[in-house]
């Protein structure tokens, strides 16, 4: 029998942190391996290339976000309550797992081209939510809601707004409700 993998998890953690801290391209294999306390070659046993590591990290964490949103919007209640649940879920994600949130935020545009078209994205969840309310503008409303989430989060990340994000739950929820046309 062979020994269990020992380097895989540390490599993922190190990569996530360094990618977020210094950027995907500014982070080298060497640095990741050093932080994970293993050899550079170990990485290539688990992922065929650096890009594959980035993509797999992204997909994994994106799936987390999608699952989180799916759960939130499928909670009982009317549209307003679901929007509140989605807002809360997203904002909490940043507070709980800031690395995951920032990673997804940072690399999404770079990754975009290499993702399959049918990949389920956070946008899709919001669009489905909005579609029941206003089918004609669902895409636009979902985009607006997502834009509000992300930009507020970006403000907190870059220090324009004080954290934690969760403190803006009520306010952001209210903004999204207004966008949708359901002011409190």
Partner DNA sequence: AATGAATGAGATTTCATTCAT
Partner DNA sequence: AATGAATGAAATCTCATTCAT
Q: What is the DSSP letter of 167?
A: G
Alpha carbon distance 20, 25 (integer Å): 10
Task: Work out the end-to-end distance of the chain between its first and last CA atoms, rounded to an integer number of angstroms.
Answer: 62
Helix 79-96 / helix 122-133 crossing angle, nearest 10 deg: 160
Options 3-11, 78-86, 96-104, 143-151: segment touching DNA (CB under 7 A): 3-11
- Provide the mask over 10-49, with x wherever binding to DNA is found by CB under 7 A and - wherever it is not: ---------------xxxxxxx------xxxxx-xxx-xx
Say how far apart CA 69 and CA 124 lie, in whole Å: 10
Q: Does 149 bind a copy of itself (CB under 8 A)?
A: yes
User: Is 23 a residue that touches a copy of itself (CB under 8 A)?
Assistant: yes
List 52, 63, 132, 140, residue binding a copy of itself (CB under 8 A): 140
Rounded Cα distance between 35 and 52, Å, is: 19
Q: Which stretch binds a copy of itself (CB under 8 A): 10-18, 54-62, 72-80, 160-168?
A: 160-168
| Contacts with DNA, residue ranges (CB under 7 A) | 1-8, 25-31, 38-42, 44-46, 48-51
């Amino acid at each position: 029998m062979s020994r269990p993998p020992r380097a895989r998890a540390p490599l993922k953690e190190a990569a996530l942190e360094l990618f977020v801290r210094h950027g995907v391209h500014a982070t080298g294999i060497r640095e990741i391996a050093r932080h994970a306390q293993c050899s550079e070659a170990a990485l290539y046993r688990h992922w065929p290339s650096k890009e594959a590591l980035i993509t797999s990290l992204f997909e994994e964490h994106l799936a987390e976000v999608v699952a989180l949103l799916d759960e939130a919007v499928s909670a009982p209640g009317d549209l307003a309550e679901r929007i509140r649940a989605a807002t809360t879920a997203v904002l909490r994600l940043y507070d709980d797992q800031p690395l995951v949130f920032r990673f997804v935020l940072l690399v999404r545009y770079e990754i975009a081209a290499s993702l399959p078209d049918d990949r389920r994205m956070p946008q899709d969840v919001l669009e489905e939510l909005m579609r029941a309310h206003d089918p004609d503008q669902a895409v636009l409303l979902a985009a607006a809601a997502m834009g509000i989430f992300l930009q507020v989060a970006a403000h907190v990340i870059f220090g324009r707004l004080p954290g934690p994000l969760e403190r803006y739950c009520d306010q952001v929820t209210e903004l999204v409700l207004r966008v949708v046309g359901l002011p409190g």
